[in-house]
Amino acid sequence: MRNGENYNSRRTFLKGIAASLLLLPVLQSCKEKVIALLIRLSGTNHILGHRLWVKNFPKPTRQIQIPYLIIGGGISGLSAARQFTKKGISEFLVLELENYLGGNSSNGENQYSKFPLGAHYLPLPNFHDKTLLQFLEEEKIILGYDAKGFPEFDEAQLTFSPQERLFYKNDWQEGLVPKYGNSHADENAFQVFFSKMDYFRETKGADGKYLFDIPLGHSSNDEQTLKLDNITMKQWLDENKLTAKPLIAYIDYCCRDDFGLGIDFVSAWAGIHYFAGRKHNATSDGKENVLTWPEGNARLASHLKKYSEGKTLKNHLAYEVKIEGNKTVVHAFDDMKKESVEIIADKVILATPQFINQYLLENRKHIAREFHYAPWLLATLTVSDLTDNYSYPLCWDNVIHGSKGLGYIYDQHQSVQQVQSKKVITYYFSFSSPDIRKTRRALYKQKKEYWKQMVFDDLKTAHPDIEGKTEEISIRLLGHGMISPVPGFLFGAAKNQAGKSIGNKIFFAHSDLAGISIFEEAFHQGINVVNTILDGTTLDS
Amino acid sequence: MGKRFLRFEFLLLLAVFTIATCGLVYELVAGTLASYLLGDSVKQFSFIIGVYLFSMGVGSYFSKFLQRNMLNTFVEIEILVGLVGGLSSVILFLLFESVHYFQFILYFLVFITGCLVGLEIPLLMNILKDRVKFRDLVSNVFTFDYIGALLASILFPLVLVPQLGVMRTSLFFGMINISIAIVLCFLLKSELKKGYLLKAKAIGSFVLLLTVFIFSDSILSFSEGKLYGENIVYTSSTPYQRIVLTHNKSDYRLYLNNNLQFSSADEYRYHEALVHPVMAMAPKIETVLVLGGGDGLAVREILKYKEVKTITLVDLDEGMTKLFKTNKILTDLNKQSLTNPKVKVLNQDAYIWAKSCKQKYDVVIVDFPDPSNYSLGKLYSLNFYKTLHQILSKDAVVVVQTTSPYFAPKSFWCINKTMMEVFPQVDAYHAYVPSFGEWGYTIAANSFVTNFNTVNRQVDGLRFYNYQFEKLNYFSKDMVSKDIEINRLDNQVLVRYFDEEWGKL
């Protein structure tokens, strides 16, 4: 789910043939069987997590000594484990609250397909992000480099064509940017907007750094540009007289997709970063594409996991971290054995989000207050058929223009199989509202039937009979789906303070410290924190 | 007067209401069919509405010449409208393929229906003019007329077409039309002359429509046969495709999803050109793999070489291979190749199967459907050929059917170029197959030393191929294309080329 400005345009692909239409009445007379719909509801282990509020855990009865402890088995934690291993250090432990690793990059699976439970793609990295390119090469996602030095990505791990389609004015069209049925003025607004984004993408500041880069911390400190963080994306669009409705809807979609919040609530710097941070320069033809897998970024997590194999304690909730003498003492609750354990480490990495850290450390509440996390809902539907008006064939990413949802991913898109007996799709929804806490409470209050209906009602715009065709629906609620860069946050004091290590003993790594929730940030956070610990440098290895 | 008269008036107004509803339904049926069959729905609907309204005017004009037995005429017209309108869709379906002047028939039927409906209203007003006040008459007749029209135009797209289909909708309304005539016949006995004759006509017509209604499914499949222009011998729908076998004189044709797969009259050209060049030039031919080709016709050609020890055929559709193992007409055609002990048939997805295959093959013959959609396009991708490369023996030779270099040169050379990325040696050739046109193949060798012109072995009795590869290897200027991209899973350019090129035809 991303912007696709560069895709070739083609409108109508499937043409009706008289013969197939002759059969239409016959086919329509076939009545569908009514099958009882199976609804499942899951989420992160928020019940256990919320025990941090009261901390009613038993006293530790065991003790573990380890030089390095990583708390949190998401991408930043796993990436730190990899970096330790690369640096020849094997004496570390990873503590994870859930019974699986990967955090937001984990997946589910049913009879027909794997499917993501969170993050589900990695855009082609920037050419200068050598650290990431190296990782992709190690994992055979990059198969080699061509004569000009451009990486050659594995065809089977790039999104297959056709990649994206948009339901706009009752027709599907290729790409996510509305192209057909726009007025001249709309057309013009898109052009102006994209040329501004081209400028932001290519321009460097006086310090020689890109105005917008990934990792975000590598961006220029150009003052004019940093000011963009003080206003909302909507304000910036208004200032630039970019008010065409289809454009606004498109940019709002992009912001909700990457930050969980729409243009009314995210900072303009972040909004522009979405379009300008990625340089599209990793391939010789400069084409945009993303790497994806049926299980989403759980694939990347599984590549990282091997570095902490045998060194992981799952179902372990750390609930207290403090420095005692020259050691760091961590108390954690083992949810399986229902007992607590004391871990004594030389150094601890908190690869956990700040809304957790405020309960592990003292005096962090005022910091955590500045971190906003949008709630998310994912719904994976198993459907017997996915009928629509066939104006453009089913793609990997399918978005309904003007919808409150973010569309859906066709989970079997990366399969080379000719026919799928059932189709599995994953629908995404982020709760974009000024009062995140209220929406989060509502998220857990409503019953699964309520969310099911919301998903159907949204999808019905493009697939009128989806409800009758759905056989199973797995809903996943993420109370703290991702960090949302509201104005003033990215370059504000709270974020800066949250990342500072304590007493050269407690260190921090998490994508919320970067300010945006993308794989690249978490990956670099993990590497940087280990480098800082080992040689006092933040440079990537 | 009084009660009895009220009933009389009410009945006739009910008739107006029905005529209006039915008339509009017939008009919509004609418009829908015209857009289905001829395309350009705006034009079709516009013309049909115009012709229909005009012919109603014609009907109204002629109504003044009908002065005797007006009630009888009214009922007769009611029957006739039902008959013509009800059968119009059936007639149109059946005639679509066989008649050149289809449009004439279409508009003629619309015209006749329009005239008859146009006659009705003035006629009715004439019948009622002495019995009802003119002011009430005009207002009532037109009210019912327009309400009927509204009802029809709402019901048609929302209920009728989805529930009944176009053909049954028109038949159904024909029956409603006629049943009103029947009711009138019985209730207005005293007013009608020769009532029994009318009754007979009405009931006869009703039975006719009902019969057609009941058999509408087989008419539909017959009209489908008309679409193919040949007699349908066999049809079957598998989970993957619709298989239709047709027969015309001595020629059998097989269609998969309405695309011609082969004609028995000239398939030998296609299959000899597909199989014999590779079989002749391959250093070894002990193990042969056929991907697709569930008709067993390529296997028939392969079996002519006695050196062949095993043939593995991987075809997705069990329905297809079963049919070609059991149907007498088809096993005569493939010489029972699929039940030959040397042949192993696997009904699996070829791509998935190839990815997990551990064996190596000396000859691979790829006979997939054309890359007409994104699913099929994957079977022509760089990644697929890389997968295929893994299961080739050291000196293996591969041939792939690669659509027409004449109709689709970009598509043809796109596959060729994609294969060049993977295989050490690649070449192309083509043959003329009358039912297909100029058809092409790409051939590849897994070794640098294999010479495409070598003939290591040959069999007698071929009708087309004479083992002179170089004769098929020349491409005239109109079959060449430049600046072609490689087909990858992440760009699927081939499907785009293919759609662009075949879409033009």
CATH number of domain containing B74: 1.20.1250.20
For CA atoms B378, B382, B386, B391, the dihedral sign is positive
Q: What is the ipTM of this complex?
A: 0.84
pLDDT at B369: 92
Tokens of B92: 């149109």
Closest residue to A161, CB basis, from B217, B384, B490:
B490
Q: Is residue A495 part of a domain?
A: yes
Q: Is residue A335 part of a domain?
A: yes
Contact A19 B374 (CB under 8 A): no
Nearest CA in chain A to B382: A155
A15 touches chain B (CB under 8 A): yes
Closest residue to A22, CB basis, from B224, B239, B495:
B224
Q: Which of B171, B218, B224, B491 to mutate to test the interface with A (most CBs of A within 10 A)?
A: B491
pLDDT at B502: 86
Give dist(CA A355, CA A437) in Å, integer.
12
Q: Which of residues 205-224 of B touch A (CB under 8 A)?
A: 217, 220, 223-224
B47 with B112, same domain: the answer is: yes
Residue B295 marked as a ligand binder:
yes
B108 with B19, same domain: the answer is: yes
3-state secondary structure of A113: coil
Residue-range definition of the domain harbouring residue B102: 3-221
Contact B383 A155 (CB under 8 A): yes
Residue-range definition of the domain harbouring residue A84: 46-107+295-371+486-535
Q: How many domains does chain B have?
A: 3
Question: What pTM was estimated for this model as a whole?
Answer: 0.76
> Long-range contacts made by residues B56-59, C-beta under 8 angstroms, separation at least 24?
B56/B114, B56/B115, B56/B117, B56/B118, B57/B118, B58/B111, B58/B114, B58/B115, B58/B118, B59/B114, B59/B115, B59/B116, B59/B117, B59/B118, B59/B119, B59/B120
Contact B378 A416 (CB under 8 A): yes
Question: What is the nearest CA distance from B402 to chain A, expressed in angstroms?
Answer: 18
Q: Is residue A67 part of a domain?
A: yes
Contact A393 B374 (CB under 8 A): yes
B187 with B252, same domain: the answer is: no
pLDDT at B68: 79
Q: How many domains does chain A have?
A: 1
> Which of the residues in chain B have pLDDT under 70?
1-6, 36-41, 96-100, 220-230, 505
Dihedral in degrees, nearest 10, Cα atoms A327, A332, A336, A337? 70
pLDDT at B121: 82
Question: What is the nearest CA distance from B415 to chain A, expressed in angstroms?
Answer: 16
Tokens of B35: 């857009």
B338 with B474, same domain: the answer is: yes
Which residues in chain A have Cβ-Cβ distances shorter than 8 Å to B29? none
Q: pLDDT per residue over B42-64, tens digit each?
A: 777 888 889 999 999 999 998 88
A437 touches chain B (CB under 8 A): no
Identify the residue whose tokens are 């223009």: A401
Question: What is the nearest CA distance from A21 to chain B, expressed in angstroms?
Answer: 7
pLDDT at B19: 82
B215 with B232, same domain: the answer is: no
Residue A490, domain CATH = 3.50.50.60
Question: What is the nearest CA distance from A416 to chain B, expressed in angstroms?
Answer: 7
Under 8 Å CB-to-CB from A88, ≥6 apart: which residues? none
Helices (H), B156-266: 161-187, 195-214, 216-228
Question: What is the nearest CA distance from A393 to chain B, expressed in angstroms?
Answer: 8
Contact A26 B165 (CB under 8 A): yes
B233 with B215, same domain: the answer is: no
Residue B425 marked as a ligand binder:
no
Q: Which of residues 159-188 of A touch B (CB under 8 A)?
A: 159-163
pLDDT at B124: 81
Identify the residue whose tokens are 């329509």: A28
**Contact indicator for A70, A80 with CB cutoff of 8 Å:** yes
Give dist(CA A104, CA B337) in Å, integer.
54
Query: Regarding beta strands A339-350 and A373-383, do their DSSP bridges make them parallel or antiparallel, or are they unpaired?
Result: unpaired
Q: Is residue A541 part of a domain?
A: no
B416 with B456, same domain: the answer is: yes
B142 with B213, same domain: the answer is: yes
Q: Is residue A508 part of a domain?
A: yes
* Catalytic residue from among B130, B367, B395, B483: B367
B245 with B375, same domain: the answer is: no
pLDDT at A13: 35
Give dist(CA A251, CA A193) in Å, integer.
10
Hey, how many other C-beta atoms are within 10 angstroms of the C-beta on B215?
Answer: 12
A30 touches chain B (CB under 8 A): no
A417 touches chain B (CB under 8 A): yes
pLDDT at A27: 40
Query: Regarding beta strands B287-292 and B259-263, do their DSSP bridges make them parallel or antiparallel, or are they unpaired?
Result: unpaired
pLDDT at B98: 61
B256 with B270, same domain: the answer is: no
B303 with B439, same domain: the answer is: yes
Reference B71, options B4, B130, B144; nearest CA is B130
Contact A417 B352 (CB under 8 A): yes
B169 with B241, same domain: the answer is: no
Q: pLDDT per residue over B226-247, tens digit each?
A: 556 667 778 787 878 888 888 8
Q: Is residue A113 part of a domain?
A: no
pLDDT at A401: 94
**Contact indicator for B459, B305 with CB cutoff of 8 Å:** yes
What secondary structure does DSSP assign to A157-205, as a single string? TBPPSS-EEEEETTEEEESSS--TT--HHHHHHHHHHHHHHHHHHH-B-
> Which of the residues in chain A have pLDDT under 50?
1-35, 538-541
B62 touches chain A (CB under 8 A): no
> What phi, psi does B272 have (nearest 5°)?
-65, -40
A223 touches chain B (CB under 8 A): no
Which residues in chain B have Cβ-Cβ distances shorter than 8 Å to A23? 220, 224
A23 touches chain B (CB under 8 A): yes
Residue B241 marked as a ligand binder:
yes
Asked if B317 is an active-site residue, the reply is no
What does the radius of gyration of chain B's CA atoms come to, in whole angstroms?
32
